[in-house]
């Protein structure tokens, strides 16, 4: 995909919106003076111990940093170099009582540079101060150097102007530019503080298709992208000083990147149900304004704001930034509790936040619904680790779906995250096994996909949910209808691959989609799977699960359209026979593919994925769907527990039958032992406790 530098736009009226980047006019210090080390240490400022930061002392040394240093030949602007980590609040640098600048808010350990304007430094003794209005913010800071050059000269910076446009319409489009240096690392980016941009090392998002910034002179691979429904475009560019000449007083663009919408999602909108900002969550690095720019840059159309224990409303900022038509925003909250994290929406930004200090899941969800939440989602069920996430703590059993989550054993939420693109999960099927167990038990839990993005660089919308909508533009999305679709599973989930599915009777008299019931399917039914992916993602296989059993596979990597580096857009038909007469079934497609390299779509997991929500088949012809557990209960009641276990049943039905038999045998054993204990004169309460401990385990 390498491209040369020939595609350069000479003139374009829209460039009148951007003046060329300001150049420093201050005279550089005479001669090549060596840089001066002001402080070689890293300091820990704040009020808590931080053993996880090895570069600085574990114990804080105060809430500010002050020291004196000597300087000479101070005419002209100089550059201050330093390192910082975990900046969440406002920290400012002052020299001789004058403001030099503010630290960049970020959790990461960063090497930073800041220009000291002329006339701030003085000959002889100078006073350095690092100050904050919130001393509770623990940070590390130090390794200060004074470089006797202007900011641009010290870093050998070059002005860059890039353009992203729709190849078909030639209109500028929001996009993400990713810059990798010659070693394949994200390149430092400077002077990119336009209000229409969100920038981090190696990443520039633009809401209007124009990206203006500076980088150190050198060679770069630059990729333009716009989320998983669009193509990417790549240039290998060399930026050198002096900068490119201006044309008519305007800087010519270094390159124009052409993007094409490759994935048709007609009838659906792309929704991210899990989004954060530094402004309201208190960690990560994305301000509200930056978050909105990344949303349009990744093509998210329905954005659920879910900061921790905060009802965040994007709409006022959308209006100020002119982004109201680009996506529909919904007020939500990640209710962060001692037993797990739950997203609830829609909520009222003026209403009190739902209670978040409870230890009972039923009470937590009830509190969210009392505030107006139509949808409640269990987030990252196996986070922070498989054993310590909610499903690990509650010992979710993959055979029966039983757990200790509530007294009834039923979960009160509507949906669970099957895809979270900012949470590491090496096994793409682990959470599906959890979900399948719940479906087999009869829980109508819906699958959702999300990003959980806290930062600018980690793509919002990397994980997403496709929600049916007839809206002609994102601003017209009906939120109530979207919530109903999310709560009932008329949706599919995606991490790079779009899928949808439908099922019809053998005579095609009735067709149903995801989240719906096909009544009286007949002897067989036809399944239609749609798989779509951009040219830079390669789906490898599609798997069909019925009641948790893998019953059909399609090797997608054998499809010729993927061999030519073109988008995948295919439909597949499968005929499904009634395998177990009289036993209902749910059907789920799971499509997996290769991971993505190149830096433009950095997710935690080295695979791509798309999956449907269940379609339900009423093979018992009674007009309703019965889960494998309900089917097992019916068989036990009609045949008796021992005769109900038959090979002519779904595997899940057999396990649930065994589980019901086990429960019945335990009940009988408990009654018999209780009679014997009573005849022996033992205390009834003590005996019940003893029997419960022994028999249940």
**CATH number, domain at 63?**
2.60.120.260
Same domain, 103 and 172: no
- List helix spans (H) across 269-381: 278-281, 288-297, 315-321, 361-370
Same domain, 466 and 521: no
Same domain, 89 and 103: yes
Is 3 inside a domain boundary?
A: no
Instruction: State which of 468, 495, 522 marks the end of a domain.
Output: 495
CATH number of domain containing 505? 2.60.40
Same domain, 377 and 278: yes
DSSP one-letter string for 308-336 = BT--B--HHHHHHHT-TTT-EEEEBEEEE
Same domain, 501 and 379: no
What pLDDT is attached to residue 693?
57
Number of structural domains (the chain) is: 5
Same domain, 664 and 616: no
Same domain, 449 and 322: yes
Are the C-beta atoms of 523 and 576 separated by less than 8 Å?
Answer: no
375-378 and 157-166 beta bridge pairing: unpaired
Q: Is 688 exposed, middle or buried (0-12, 13-18, 19+ CB in 10 A)?
A: middle
Is 423 inside a domain boundary?
A: yes
Is 7 inside a domain boundary?
A: no
Same domain, 49 and 114: yes
Residue linked to tokens 């951009």: 534
What pLDDT is attached to residue 25?
31
What pLDDT, in 10s, does the model give residues 242-294?
765 555 556 788 999 999 999 999 999 999 999 999 999 988 899 999 999 99
Sheet (strand 139-147) strand order? 36-45, 139-147, 78-85, 110-116
- Triad 514, 616, 650: Cα angle to 5°: 135
Instruction: State which of 259, 291, 308 marks the end of a domain.
Output: 259
User: Whole-model pTM?
Assistant: 0.88
Same domain, 423 and 511: no
Same domain, 491 and 514: no
- Triad 682, 688, 689: Cα angle to 5°: 110
Is 188 inside a domain boundary?
A: yes
Residue linked to tokens 């895809």: 419
The answer for residues whose C-beta is within 8 angstroms of residue 275's C-beta and 6 or more apart is 291, 295, 303, 304, 305, 306, 450, 451, 452, 453, 460
Is 635 inside a domain boundary?
A: no
Same domain, 168 and 178: yes
Instruction: State which of 211, 232, 259 marks the end of a domain.
Output: 259
- Dig out the tokens for 366 from the structure: 């009830």
Is 90 inside a domain boundary?
A: yes
375-378 and 340-345 beta bridge pairing: antiparallel
Which mean pLDDT values do the consecutive 10-residue runs of the chain (697 residues) have? 36 30 35 84 94 94 95 83 92 96 88 91 95 88 94 93 97 98 94 94 97 96 98 95 60 91 97 96 92 98 98 97 97 97 97 94 96 98 93 90 76 96 95 97 96 96 97 96 98 98 86 94 91 96 97 82 70 90 93 94 95 96 93 83 72 89 79 80 74 57
Is 650 inside a domain boundary?
A: yes
Are the C-beta atoms of 406 and 362 separated by less than 8 Å?
Answer: yes
Is 102 inside a domain boundary?
A: yes
What pLDDT is attached to residue 658?
86
CATH number of domain containing 216? 2.60.40.2190
What pLDDT, in 10s, does the model give residues 358-378?
999 999 999 999 999 999 999
Residue linked to tokens 């799971």: 590
- Dig out the tokens for 376 from the structure: 């409640």
Residue 622 to residue 620: CA distance in whole angstroms: 6
Same domain, 597 and 484: no
CA nearest neighbour of 189 among 171, 216, 169, 164: 216
Domain of 665 in residue numbering reads as 645-696
């Amino acid at each position: 995909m390498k491209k040369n530098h020939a595609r350069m736009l000479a003139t374009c009226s829209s460039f009148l919106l951007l003046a060329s980047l300001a150049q420093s006019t201050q005279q550089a210090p005479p001669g090549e003076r060596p840089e001066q080390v002001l402080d070689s240490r890293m300091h820990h400022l704040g009020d808590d111990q931080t053993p996880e930061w090895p570069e600085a002392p574990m114990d804080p040394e105060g809430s500010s940093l002050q020291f004196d240093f000597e300087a000479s030949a101070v005419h002209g602007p100089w550059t201050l170099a330093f390192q910082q980590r975990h900046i969440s609040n406002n920290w400012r640098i002052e020299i001789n009582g004058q403001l030099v600048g503010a630290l960049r808010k970020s959790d990461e350990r960063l090497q930073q540079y800041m220009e000291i304007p002329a006339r701030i430094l003085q000959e002889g003794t100078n006073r350095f101060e690092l100050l904050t209005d919130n001393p509770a913010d623990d940070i590390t800071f130090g390794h200060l150097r004074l470089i006797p050059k202007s900011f641009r000269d010290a870093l050998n910076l070059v002005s860059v102007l890039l353009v992203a446009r729709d190849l078909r319409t030639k209109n500028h489009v929001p996009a993400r530019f990713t810059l990798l240096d010659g070693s394949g690392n994200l390149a430092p980016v400077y002077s990119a503080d336009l209000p229409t941009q969100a920038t981090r090392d190696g990443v520039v998002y633009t809401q209007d298709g124009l990206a203006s910034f500076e980088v150190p002179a050198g060679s770069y691979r630059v990729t333009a992208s716009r989320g998983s429904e669009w193509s990417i475009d790549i240039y290998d560019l060399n930026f050198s000083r002096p900068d490119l000449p201006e044309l008519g007083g305007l800087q010519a663009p270094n390159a124009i990147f052409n993007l094409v919408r490759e994935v048709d999602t007609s009838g659906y909108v792309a929704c991210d149900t899990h989004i954060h900002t530094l402004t309201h969550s208190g960690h990560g690095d994305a301000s509200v304004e930056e978050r909105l720019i990344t949303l349009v840059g990744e093509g998210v159309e329905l954005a659920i704001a879910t900061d921790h224990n905060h009802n965040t409303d994007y709409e006022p900022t959308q209006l100020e930034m002119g982004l109201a038509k680009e996506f529909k925003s919904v007020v939500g909250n990640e209710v962060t509790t001692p037993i797990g994290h739950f997203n609830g929406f829609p909520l009222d930004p003026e209403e009190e936040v739902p209670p978040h200090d409870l230890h009972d899941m039923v009470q937590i969800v009830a509190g969210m619904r009392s505030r107006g939440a139509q949808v409640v989602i269990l987030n990252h069920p196996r986070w922070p680790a498989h054993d310590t996430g909610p499903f690990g703590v509650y010992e979710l059993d993959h055979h029966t779906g039983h757990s200790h989550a509530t007294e009834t054993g039923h979960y009160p939420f509507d949906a669970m995250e099957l895809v979270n693109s900012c949470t590491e999960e090496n096994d793409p099927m682990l959470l599906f096994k959890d979900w399948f167990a719940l479906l087999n038990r009869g829980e109508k839990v819906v699958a959702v996909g999300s990003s959980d993005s806290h930062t600018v660089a980690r793509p919002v919308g990397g994980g997403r949910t496709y929600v049916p909508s007839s809206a002609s533009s994102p601003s017209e999305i009906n939120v109530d209808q979207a919530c109903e679709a999310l709560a009932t599973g008329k949706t599919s989930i995606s991490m790079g691959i779009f899928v949808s599915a439908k099922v019809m009777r053998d005579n095609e008299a009735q067709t149903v989609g995801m989240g719906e019931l096909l009544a009286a399917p007949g002897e067989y039914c036809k399944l239609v799977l749609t798989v779509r992916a951009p040219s830079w993602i390669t789906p490898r296989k599609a798997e069909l699960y019925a009641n948790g059993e893998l019953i059909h596979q399609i090797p997608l990597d054998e499809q010729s359209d993927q061999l030519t580096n073109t988008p995948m857009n295919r439909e597949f038909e499968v005929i499904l026979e009634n395998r177990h007469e009289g036993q209902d079934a749910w059907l789920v497609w799971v499509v997996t593919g290769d991971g993505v390299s190149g830096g433009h779509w950095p997710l935690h997991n080295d695979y791509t994925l798309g999956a449907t929500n269940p379609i339900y088949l009423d093979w018992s012809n009674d007009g309703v769907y019965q889960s494998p557990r309900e089917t097992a209960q019916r068989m036990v009641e009609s045949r008796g527990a021992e005769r109900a276990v038959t090979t002519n049943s779904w595997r899940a039905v057999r396990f649930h039958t065994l589980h019901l038999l086990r429960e019945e045998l335990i009940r009988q054993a408990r009654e018999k032992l209780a009679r014997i204990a009573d005849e022996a004169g033992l205390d009834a309460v003590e005996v019940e406790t003893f029997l419960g401990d022994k028999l249940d385990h």
